[in-house]
Structure 1
Amino acid sequence: MSENQLQRCFVLHRRSYSESSLIIDVFSEEFGRMTLLSKGARRIRSPLKGVLQPFIPLLLKWSGKGSMRTLRQAEPISLGLPLTGIHLYSALYVNELLARLIPSEVPLPGLFYDYLQVLTELAQSSNPEPALRRFELSLLACLGYGVDFLHCAGSGEPVVPTMTYLYREQKGFIASVRKDNLTFVGEELIAISERRFTTQAQLKAAKRFTRIALKPYLGAKPLKSRELFISQIGISRARSKGT
């Protein structure tokens, strides 16, 4: 598909530029993550003023070369997804992962579908955790992170549901008698492999694993979405106590 055609996109992040413009990071179905300059988008009468927002499905067209292109056309496909409370913070977390981790201008149509799926699940489900864990695993796969959840890295034997396995970075899971933050029960590894999270134990194990696996990619820089969520929890608790 040509860049001269309208592309399906979502805004991941936006920031002010000059007096009236915006710089937006978008996730495009055909071109991956792009950085676009939207001239005059912050003007009071700009038709784009309320359009270039996260979680609104968009059709965009841009032009130019280099690391930042110029936005030429933007049309909303539909209304923004209904995300509030913890579901909104979860979606902001997903956007931040994409903005920080996926390479620029590398087509990732499979991950774009996974992104649509996680936003849809977040808008519809009562518990955001299963959707987040599935998306994190998809993102890790796109980053080239490969690990065999179904076989012991030491013996090659199939994982036994009742046995304990120690995770070793870049190697996989090895049968172990240890029990700590780096160990997982075989049943948990099988559930992660199948992306099937029906119990709290499975969800906790999947979250523990994805945090371990994502840490080398994220580095020491904290996630703003997580800080914002923690801050909001503190405000909510203070209000409930009347302080």
Structure 2
Amino acid sequence: MTSSDIYIIKTTPYRESSNLYEAIVKDIGKMTFIHKGIKTNNRRNALELFTPYRVNWSGKGNIKFLRESEILEKINFSPTQNILGMYFNELMHYLTKNDFQIEKLYTHYNVSLLNLLKSENFLISLNNYEIGLLILTGHYIIFDTDSDDRNIDVNKKYNYVPDLGPKLSLDNKDVYMGKTMMALSGQHSYDTECIRESRVLMKRLIDYYIQPKKIKTREILKYISL
């Protein structure tokens, strides 16, 4: 029997009485658990999203058996924070594989959820979560130097080439200000233009790395003022 701290990011009904959980596991990465008899045993409760648990589990296959669980902390999200959390989960689902061994994945997810609770700008919180997750899952993400290894000039315009980075723009097509690049790198403050440009760029990067999949929660986010 093994004890681990986990977050559930996706629940799927399994047969008549059980659930399959896609979970982020502390110091391990992403795993799948089966919670047997959850719908027929009144003494066992289904695990919830956005709630850290300590669980006991066993098994050596791709799907582990969840035995016991306890809540470590209750996170009370507003409706908007809840939808943003759903976006976090969907992106995590697409960018990671089962039995994905990334020790810092749990910490990044946990910190990102807690930051939502005190966030003064949800759009910047989205940037930070997306950038951290892309880096953790092995993608080359850089904003403070261009493709020729020169420092970004906050007053110049750049294109962004996935897997290569910023490239000094020769025209005005799909360009981003250098200050936006530096804000994404954490070395410059965000202003209104930086926030707007950064969300356009991050959406394009996410689409590039998860293609041909589509993120469903974006349809809901379109109707929310962030």
Per the TM superposition, whether the score is higher than 0.5 is yes
Residue 167 of structure 1 and its aligned partner are, at CA, apart by 1.7
- Describe the shift of the 1:126–1:157 C-alpha distance in structure 2 as closer, same or farther (beyond 3 A): closer
Question: Any idea what SS the aligned residue of 2:2 has?
Answer: coil
Larger Rg: 1
- Describe the shift of the 1:5–1:68 C-alpha distance in structure 2 as closer, same or farther (beyond 3 A): closer
User: What CA distance in whole angstroms lies between the structure 2 residues aligned with 1:229 and 1:147?
Assistant: 24
State the partner residue of 2:66. Answer: 71
Residue 19 of structure 1 and its aligned partner are, at CA, apart by 1.6
Which residue, out of 181, 184, 188, partners 1:192? 184
User: What CA distance in whole angstroms lies between the structure 2 residues aligned with 1:123 and 1:189?
Assistant: 26
The AA in structure 2 aligned to 1:15 is T
State the partner residue of 1:238. Answer: none
Residue 115 of structure 1 and its aligned partner are, at CA, apart by 1.0
Question: Any idea what SS the aligned residue of 1:211 has?
Answer: helix
- Describe the shift of the 1:192–1:38 C-alpha distance in structure 2 as closer, same or farther (beyond 3 A): same
Q: Among all aligned residue pairs of Structure 1 and Structure 2, give the percentage whose two residues are the same amino acid.
A: 22
Residue 140 of structure 1 and its aligned partner are, at CA, apart by 0.9
Residue 90 of structure 1 and its aligned partner are, at CA, apart by 0.5
State the partner residue of 1:105. Answer: 99
Range 35-44 or range 9-18, more displaced = 35-44
The AA in structure 2 aligned to 1:190 is M
Question: Any idea what SS the aligned residue of 1:73 has?
Answer: strand
Is residue 162 of structure 2 the alignment partner of residue 159 of structure 1?
Answer: no
Question: Any idea what SS the aligned residue of 1:189 has?
Answer: helix
User: What CA distance in whole angstroms lies between the structure 2 residues aligned with 1:61 and 1:195?
Assistant: 42
User: What CA distance in whole angstroms lies between the structure 1 residues aligned with 2:189 and 2:19?
Assistant: 40
- Describe the shift of the 1:126–1:161 C-alpha distance in structure 2 as closer, same or farther (beyond 3 A): closer
Is residue 22 of structure 2 the alignment partner of residue 28 of structure 1?
Answer: no
State the partner residue of 1:124. Answer: 118
The AA in structure 2 aligned to 1:187 is K
User: What CA distance in whole angstroms lies between the structure 2 residues aligned with 1:151 and 1:125?
Assistant: 28
Question: Any idea what SS the aligned residue of 1:194 has?
Answer: coil
Pairwise mapping of residues 74-223 of structure 1 onto structure 2 (< 5 A)?
Answer: 74-79=69-74, 81-154=75-148, 156-181=149-174, 183-194=175-186, 198-223=190-215
User: What CA distance in whole angstroms lies between the structure 2 residues aligned with 1:26 and 1:55?
Assistant: 11
User: What CA distance in whole angstroms lies between the structure 2 residues aligned with 1:206 and 1:110?
Assistant: 25
* Structure 1 residue runs without a partner (length 5+): 235-243
Residue 23 of structure 1 and its aligned partner are, at CA, apart by 0.8
The AA in structure 2 aligned to 1:121 is N
Which residue, out of 5, 8, 11, partners 1:8? 5
* Structure 2 residue runs without a partner (length 5+): none
Residue 197 of structure 1 and its aligned partner are, at CA, apart by 5.2
Given that 1:150 and 1:189 are in contact with CA atoms closer than 8 Å, whether structure 2 keeps it comes out as yes
Residue 224 of structure 1 and its aligned partner are, at CA, apart by 2.4
TM-score normalized by the length of structure 1? 0.84
User: What CA distance in whole angstroms lies between the structure 2 residues aligned with 1:71 and 1:116?
Assistant: 21
- Describe the shift of the 1:195–1:86 C-alpha distance in structure 2 as closer, same or farther (beyond 3 A): farther
User: What CA distance in whole angstroms lies between the structure 1 residues aligned with 2:214 and 2:151?
Assistant: 37
Cα shift readout 1:123-179 (whole Å, capped 9, x = no counterpart):
23353211111010001101222243222313x322111011122233222212322
When the two chains are superposed, the root-mean-square deviation of aligned CA atoms in Å is: 2.0
Given that 2:135 and 2:141 are in contact with CA atoms closer than 8 Å, whether structure 1 keeps it comes out as no
Given that 2:31 and 2:100 are in contact with CA atoms closer than 8 Å, whether structure 1 keeps it comes out as no
